[in-house]
Structure 1
Amino acid sequence: MKSIEVKTILTGNHGTGMNVYRGCTHGCIYCDSRSACYHTPVPFEDIEVKKNAVELLDSALRSKRRKCMIGTGSMCDPYMPCEKTLKITRGCLEVIDRHGFGATVLTKSNLVLRDFDLLKKINSKTKAVLQMTLTTGDDGLCRKIEPNVCPTSERFRVLMEAKKESIPTVVWLTPFLPYINDTKENIMELLEMCAKASVRGIVIFGFGLTLRDGNREYFYKSLDEKFPGLKDRYINQFGTRYEVSRPESDSMYPMVRRFCMDNKILYRPDDTFAYLNRFEEKDVQLTLF
């Protein structure tokens, strides 16, 4: 792990996204952020800490003319173990709260529970959304494909705590790895978790995964170690395709659509992202004593 100084912290067309770390230690075997096109650290576990992230965010939000949602976690999890002591993500949430912006965090870690006080505070004035990734209902399988982060049962507990604290949630159901976790039974189990946790929406792009230079090599190496023989099946069936999924997976869309409609869960990506990006200022009544 090394500390670096950067010139800007907000990214994207509208300057609403940020990543306070580069690289990740979760060890997820499928991680697209390992792809060479992103120029993340090599090895990916060699974390780069943006030590001036809080100061840059403070300056950036001071100059913004309109309030908006600020998101983190699109490339690297903001709640890796190093965050427990560094508290850079927490510092950024404090800045977001102080300037009256909204926030959304995407994570696989239960460390986010530490910052529920800030998410609740932000949510009392505008909107703070917890996004959580779920890939399998089987904790044993979860530990094989996402080895260095809390298992699904613990992430579900976090979602239920968010429900208890009235913090809105969105769940990413992705990726589904062919012949590993892309079964109807697994997907339905995850959907049931979403319904129990009263999530506002799900993000699901398909029933497969993407493989590019950089993450493909790591994924195949992991298959050899954890699912012997499966790499050859992938190579024979998919070759060097970017999008990897079984043809029969398309039959699962009606099942997902029907379940989400029945449970009032947003399921179209455009609808879910519109909810995440929409800044909602709440009326806060002051009581004079």
Structure 2
Amino acid sequence: MCDQYVNERKHKTYTEKEYKTILSSKNNMNVYRGCTHGCIYCDSRSEIYGMTYTFENIEVKTNAVKLLDEALSKKSKKCMIATGAMTDPYIPLEKELEQTRRCLEVIEKYGFGIAILTKSDLILRDIDILKRIHKKAKCVVQMTLTTYDEELCKILEPNVCSTKRRFEVLMEMHKAGIPTVVWMTPILPFINDNEENISGILDYCKQAKVTGLLTFGIGMTLRHGNREYFFKKLDEHFPELKKEYMKKYSLSYELRSPNHQKLTRIIKNFCKGNNIIYGVKEVFEFCAHFPEQNDQISIFNI
């Protein structure tokens, strides 16, 4: 299956840096900074996060595995470790460095759980470890799906595997007995905020028997850093839309789709009808819950 992994060396260089800590107060971690996926909407580009260099030039936290080992060895209570919120743990550089894989080995060694968010099929490389973690504790694989149309997906998320391929990853995880969550976010006003797109993604969710689904409202966010990049990409691919965005949203942080209510209602009804956990609070609670002994729900141990 290795020959199916996305292997696009879009990054030109990377820097190495040692850190003092790897886990946040809420047990989140990122083993890299920056990203080469090239998604035109990425909030992680925002200057508020302190990116002082080109976003595509990856910063590798060289002592991440050691720091994680030290941190988990000292924890008196097991919990879920989360990764992928700021930087995808399976950027192409991971294929060479295996930082994420080695962190997963540490998590398995100490009996902790993992909730991992990605857009990459490289995660299939580590399905052996993920299955072992889930057998001992709990593993949740979260996959971002925003765009059903494959040609449009190549524009919005140019350097990652297709939405269809990500659906196939979800199917593989379900076969392995690992619960999955879909992040259907962001949905871009005037671009993919339509019923056809949402219905296509929901059909993937149904086929893959996902456990949970979340949106942060139908729309997106823009602030200094990612706004400039997004508008640059609009000029390249959707030149007529930049004027529409400025007219409707000006410099607003939250850009809610005009179709927000209708599409949200469709998603809610779908989740209710298919027994899928829906909502940010509900999904986060599911991902953060570490099962006590004999607390694993049988449905997830297929």
TM-score, normalising length: structure 2: 0.91
Is 1:108 matched up with 2:119? yes
Paired residues of 2:188 and 2:257 also in contact (CA < 8 A): no
Partner of 1:2 in structure 2?
Answer: 15
1-side partners of 2:235 and 2:165: how far apart? 28
| AA aligned opposite 1:37 | I
**Cα displacement (A) at 1:282:** 4.7
| AA aligned opposite 2:68 | L
2-side partners of 1:165 and 1:42: how far apart? 39
Paired residues of 1:260 and 1:266 also in contact (CA < 8 A): yes
Q: 2:232 aligns with which of 221, 241, 253?
A: 221
Partner of 2:177 in structure 1?
Answer: 166
Partner of 1:210 in structure 2?
Answer: 221
Q: 1:201 aligns with which of 186, 205, 212?
A: 212
Task: Identify which range, 144-153 or 224-233, moves more after superposition.
Answer: 224-233
Paired residues of 1:211 and 1:243 also in contact (CA < 8 A): yes
Partner of 1:267 in structure 2?
Answer: 278
**Cα displacement (A) at 1:281:** 3.9
In the TM superposition, 1:38-187 aligns within 5 A as 38-187=49-198
Identity %: 54
**Cα displacement (A) at 1:244:** 0.7
Paired residues of 1:9 and 1:19 also in contact (CA < 8 A): yes
2-side partners of 1:136 and 1:251: how far apart? 18
1-side partners of 2:141 and 2:172: how far apart? 11
| AA aligned opposite 2:285 | A
- Where 1:225 maps in the other structure, the secondary structure is helix
TM-score, normalising length: structure 1: 0.95
Partner of 1:238 in structure 2?
Answer: 249
Deviating beyond 3 angstroms after TM superposition, the runs of 4 or more aligned structure 1 residues are 281-284
Paired residues of 2:73 and 2:110 also in contact (CA < 8 A): yes
Segments of structure 2 that go 5 or more residues without pairing to the other structure are: 1-13, 296-302
Segments of structure 1 that go 5 or more residues without pairing to the other structure are: 285-289
2-side partners of 1:96 and 1:252: how far apart? 38
2-side partners of 1:170 and 1:40: how far apart? 28
Instruction: Please list the CA deviations of residues 30-86 of structure 1 after superposition, one character each: whole Å capped at 9, or x if unmatched.
Output: 000000000125210010000100000000001111100001000000000000010
2-side partners of 1:53 and 1:245: how far apart? 37
2-side partners of 1:248 and 1:74: how far apart? 26
Q: Give the 3 Å change call, closer, same or farther, for CA 166–225 of structure 1 in structure 2.
A: same
Instruction: Please list the CA deviations of residues 130-160 of structure 1 after superposition, one character each: whole Å capped at 9, or x if unmatched.
Output: 1000001111111100001101011011001
**Cα displacement (A) at 1:283:** 4.2
| AA aligned opposite 1:80 | I
Paired residues of 2:194 and 2:263 also in contact (CA < 8 A): no
Instruction: Please list the CA deviations of residues 206-250 of structure 1 after superposition, one character each: whole Å capped at 9, or x if unmatched.
Output: 110000000000000000011122111111111001111233322
Paired residues of 1:80 and 1:109 also in contact (CA < 8 A): yes
1-side partners of 2:164 and 2:110: how far apart? 35
